[in-house]
Amino acid sequence: MLSKRMQPLTSQARRSYVELMFQVMGRALQAISEVDEVARDEIKRLPDGFLFEMQVMPAGPKLIVEHTGDGRLRFLGDEAPRPIDLSIQFKHIAHAFLVLSFQEKTSVAFANDRMLVDGDVSLAIRMTRVLNRLEAFILPKLVAERAVKEYPDHINFPNKLISAARIYLRVATNLVETARA
Amino acid sequence: MTNKYYEFFCPVKVIAGKAALEHIPFELTSLAAKRPMIITDKGVRAAGLLDPVIAACEESGLDIVSIYDDVPPDSSTTVVATIAKVYRKEKCDSIIAVGGGSAIDTGKAVNILVSEGGDDIAEYSGAGILKHPLKPFFVVPTTAGTGSEVTSVAVITDEKRGVKLPYSSPFLLPNAAIIDPRMTLTLPPHITAATAMDALTHATEAFTCMGKNPLSDAYATAAVKKVSQSLLKVMDTPKDEEGRLDLAQASTMAGIAFSNSMVGLVHALGHATGAIVHLPHGLCMSLYLPYVLEFNLESIREPLGELLLHLEGPEVYSATPAARRAEASISSIRKLRDELYKRCKLPRTLKETEKVTEDQLEAIATMALDDGSIMFNPKEVSLDDAMTILRRAWA
């Protein structure tokens, strides 16, 4: 009985968590494209103006970023100015929660059919590499190991600390600017 | 609570064995189909492989209304549109694809156009676009390797844009796959070898990559066992019908396995090599399989060790210490490749193909990193890793 009463609350909490994580991830993607050369090299191969979306089906939370050129991404929130070029779609909010709460690695979620790719699969692979690099930087190593297939051994602690600080600073600044606007 | 989850789907009726072709008329009429069209290629027709299919239908009073036998090795949007026009003109109501991967993919694409309407197959490209079942569709494979008869994907080249268009939908799956040993009996030795290695790779990757699951495992191990037991026998006695049927069934089982678990780095490298140097897919699989297994070794030690039972049988498996079984599986695959080289000169290294130059390796590695299959490889792959594997596979 109690669990039935709690269900809407749990569901709402899960949805709010996914929305929040998309907000942070969108801004963090923009930030990593500003501070990390390797991520920029990956993004550079996307066409200029390319729109990437992560979404929960059928009309759940979403994040949209745009490649503005030269490997830079811009977070657009959840509204696209034109049709999306590449969309990674979680089949259910529960699946998005599993991935975004680091209970299931992104690669495992793909293997488990939790997500669909609508668009060029090779570009989805590229964006997944950028997301993995982002997670390796901004998450504590123990958590990042649960999120990515393999924690990159070339990211040493000082490098991680500096990059994470720069990404978080940019995310925080962007959040404040958005709140002010 | 376990985090494990998987999906498994294969609604294709498999009709396999002696006189399997003779079941086609019954299967067609049970789906109310009376006017079938055959889609095939010139090679299949010249080899006389259509004759038993046509005879089987005619003996049951079912006429093949139209035969299109000009499917090229890389099927295109133009070919698909042309065949769809013939299908409509002749008022056909079903499709029988007879051939290898290209004829089967073409059959799938034609079925989209004749079921959904229109002349431009490019409009249906992508995943999950189709929402309704298509016309009755049967597949008679004439090679034992691709497993296309049980996969829900097709690839068609858009000649105008110069890109390969992917199609993915459960509705692309045929109603039935007819596996008849007569259809692979005349397959030349090097194609028999390469396509069987393709099936072995499908099964091995299905069993060792990230999407593996209990049901795909069952199909994968059965496929590995059949290839290991029958391939060399068939190479020595090409007219061995039982062996041919084993290889054909292995191909279908491996197809069911990998379409439900996906594949990994061997396929990523193989797709890139096929695109850049145009080597046949089965050959690419044979070239890269042991080197990729060595690269993945520490991530797949347990399942790869388990495969030894199916590769070499219970005596060798039980005589090999558990800690050495994974390496023994790789040795077994290497040994098989050596035997194939002895029998039909199937290349074991990129250099032996005489079609690849060392300066192409970087382009292959770069392209492989963006291949969809790499997502399911159990180990993360960097450009340096891919280059190391390619250098090992070089000579």
Would you call A125 and B372 a contact, using CB atoms and an 8 Å cutoff?
A: yes
- Determine the length of chain B: 395
Shared domain check, B176 and B41: yes
Report the alpha-carbon distance of residue A50 to residue A30 in Å, rounded: 14
Average pLDDT of the segment spanning A135-163: 86
CA geometry: angle at B10 spanning B34 and B8, to 5°? Answer: 160
**Domain membership of residue B70 as a residue range:** 13-182
Give domain status of residue B7, yes or no. Answer: no
Pick from B369, B371, B376: CB nearest A111: B376
**Chain A residues touching B6 at Cβ < 8 A:** 112-113
Give domain status of residue B124, yes or no. Answer: yes
**Which of A85, A107, A146, A154 is the best mutation test for B, with the most CBs of B within 10 A?**
A107
Answer yes or no: are the C-beta atoms of B106 and B62 closer than 8 Å: no
Instruction: Write the pLDDT tens digit of every residue in A156-170.
Output: 788 888 888 888 888
Percent of chain B exceeding pLDDT 90 equals: 93
Q: At which of B182, B210, B231 does a domain end?
A: B182
Give the β-pairing of B13-16 and B176-179. parallel
Instruction: Write the pLDDT tens digit of every residue in B153-187.
Output: 999 998 888 788 889 999 999 999 999 999 999 99
Give domain status of residue B282, yes or no. Answer: yes
**Which of A121, A128, A130 is the best mutation test for B, with the most CBs of B within 10 A?**
A121
pLDDT score, position A70: 94
Shared domain check, B131 and B63: yes
Shared domain check, B349 and B285: yes
Mean pLDDT (chain A, rounded): 90
Instruction: Write the pLDDT tens digit of every residue in B295-340.
Output: 999 999 999 999 999 999 999 999 999 999 999 999 999 999 999 9
Average pLDDT of the segment spanning B192-215: 97
pLDDT score, position B133: 96
Report the alpha-carbon distance of residue B80 to residue B77 in Å, rounded: 5
Domains in chain A with CATH codes = 2-180 (3.30.1050.10)
Shared domain check, B219 and B173: no
Mean pLDDT (chain B, rounded): 95
Confidence of residue A174 (pLDDT cuts 50, 70, 90): confident
Give domain status of residue B6, yes or no. Answer: no
CATH number of domain containing B116 = 3.40.50.1970
pLDDT score, position A2: 62
Question: For residue B395, what are the CA distances in angstroms to A71, B74, B201, B286, B350?
Answer: 37, 29, 20, 14, 7
Percent of chain B exceeding pLDDT 70 equals: 99
Shared domain check, B158 and B206: no
Would you call B375 and A128 a contact, using CB atoms and an 8 Å cutoff?
A: yes
Would you call A111 and B7 a contact, using CB atoms and an 8 Å cutoff?
A: no
Shared domain check, B208 and B172: no
H-helix or E-strand containing A89? strand A86-90
Q: Which residue has the higher pLDDT, A154 or B150?
A: B150
Closest Cα in chain B, distance from residue A108 (Å): 7
Shared domain check, B262 and B206: yes
Q: At which of B143, B166, B182 does a domain end?
A: B182
Closest Cα in chain B, distance from residue A136 (Å): 13
Q: Which residue of A has its CA nearest to B264?
A: A111
Answer yes or no: are the C-beta atoms of A102 and A142 closer than 8 Å: no
Would you call A149 and B379 a contact, using CB atoms and an 8 Å cutoff?
A: yes
Average pLDDT of the segment spanning B130-140: 96
Would you call A111 and B210 a contact, using CB atoms and an 8 Å cutoff?
A: yes
Would you call B380 and A103 a contact, using CB atoms and an 8 Å cutoff?
A: no
Shared domain check, B213 and B173: no
**Chain A residues touching B372 at Cβ < 8 A:** 121-122, 124-125
Confidence of residue B3 (pLDDT cuts 50, 70, 90): low
Pick from B7, B375, B378: CB nearest A113: B7
Give domain status of residue B2, yes or no. Answer: no
Shared domain check, B193 and B137: no
Report the alpha-carbon distance of residue A111 to residue B209 in Å, rounded: 9
Instruction: Write the pLDDT tens digit of every residue in A36-83.
Output: 999 999 999 999 999 999 999 998 999 999 999 999 999 999 999 999
Give domain status of residue B90, yes or no. Answer: yes
Give domain status of residue B4, yes or no. Answer: no
Would you call B211 and A124 a contact, using CB atoms and an 8 Å cutoff?
A: no
Would you call B210 and A107 a contact, using CB atoms and an 8 Å cutoff?
A: yes
Average pLDDT of the segment spanning B74-81: 94
Q: At which of B133, B160, B182 does a domain end?
A: B182
**Which of B7, B125, B210 is the best mutation test for A, with the most CBs of A within 10 A?**
B210
pLDDT score, position A169: 86
CATH number of domain containing B330 = 1.20.1090.10
Shared domain check, B200 and B174: no
Q: Which residue of A has its CA nearest to B6?
A: A112
Residues of A in CB contact (< 8 Å) with B are 98, 103-104, 107-108, 110-114, 116-118, 121-126, 128, 148-150, 152
pTM listed for this prediction: 0.93
Shared domain check, B316 and B256: yes
Instruction: Write the pLDDT tens digit of every residue in B25-66.
Output: 999 999 999 999 999 999 999 999 999 999 999 999 999 999
- What sign for the dihedral angle of Cα B244, B249, B252, B257? negative
Sequence-ordered alpha helix ranges (H) in chain B: 24-30, 42-46, 50-59, 77-89, 101-116, 189-208, 214-236, 241-261, 265-277, 281-312, 314-319, 325-344, 350-353, 361-369, 383-394
Pick from A116, A122, A150: CB nearest B370: A122
User: How many domains does chain B divide into?
Assistant: 2
Instruction: Write the pLDDT tens digit of every residue in B246-257.
Output: 999 999 999 999
pLDDT score, position A7: 74
Nearest to A55 by CA among A5, A109, A18: A18
pLDDT score, position A166: 87
Q: Inform me whether the pLDDT recorded for B20 exceeds 70.
A: yes
Average pLDDT of the segment spanning A21-27: 94
Shared domain check, B161 and B243: no
Q: Inform me whether the pLDDT recorded for B1 exceeds 60.
A: no
Closest Cα in chain B, distance from residue A5 (Å): 22
pLDDT score, position A164: 86
Give domain status of residue B5, yes or no. Answer: no
pLDDT score, position A8: 77
How high is the ipTM of this complex? Answer: 0.88
pLDDT score, position A3: 64
